[in-house]
Amino acid sequence: MESLGFNATLLAQMFNFLVLLILLRAVAYKPFMNMLEKRKELIESSIAAAEEDKKQAEQLRNALQADLQRSRQEAAEVMARATKNAEEQAQQIIEAAKAEAARVKDSALLEIQREKDKAVAELRDQVATLSILVAGKIIDQKLNDDLQKDLVNKFVKEAGDLPC
């Protein structure tokens, strides 16, 4: 057989190689393939879980942004109400101050009128006193027409100078 170029060792090596392949396929190939399949499934489930987590995170982010927007809007509304209330209170204070000023003014005008009336009454009393004094002087003196006209003119002039 050596003339054909076959060597028995080569045939034995080929046989051993085939037996080794069959044994490896029976013993190692299936568990190795099962392990690879499980690893593939684990990676796919991890990717799916990561994608689901990403979707949930995006939904949570959107919800938080919506909550933040609502909070900002509510804060703006609260500020607007507070500003409006402050303006209303300021307006009420201004109106109260105006009313108080008007009351004080009216009170002062009444007081001025009372003082004026009092001064006029005092002046009338003084005029009456002066009239009595003038009458007393007239009684003590003899009246003639010229003296009477002078006294009347003088009395009228003094009465006209009074601030009534």
pLDDT tens sequence across 89-141: 999 999 999 999 999 999 999 999 999 888 888 887 787 677 777 776 766 66
Give the span between the Cα atoms of 162 and 164, in whole angstroms: 6
Give the span between the Cα atoms of 32 and 62, in whole angstroms: 45
Q: CB–CB of 131/152 below 8 Å?
A: no
Mean pLDDT, residues 13-42 taken together: 90
Q: CB–CB of 156/131 below 8 Å?
A: no
| pLDDT tens column, 133-163 | 777 676 666 556 676 667 667 776 776 666 5
Domain limits, the chain: 29-157
| pLDDT tens column, 37-84 | 999 999 999 999 999 999 999 999 999 999 999 999 999 999 999 999
pTM over 0.75: no
The model's confidence at residue 1, banded by pLDDT at 50, 70 and 90, is very low
DSSP state of 55: H
Residue 61 tokens, joined: 């982010």
Residue 118, CB half-sphere, CA atoms under 13 Å: how many? Answer: 6
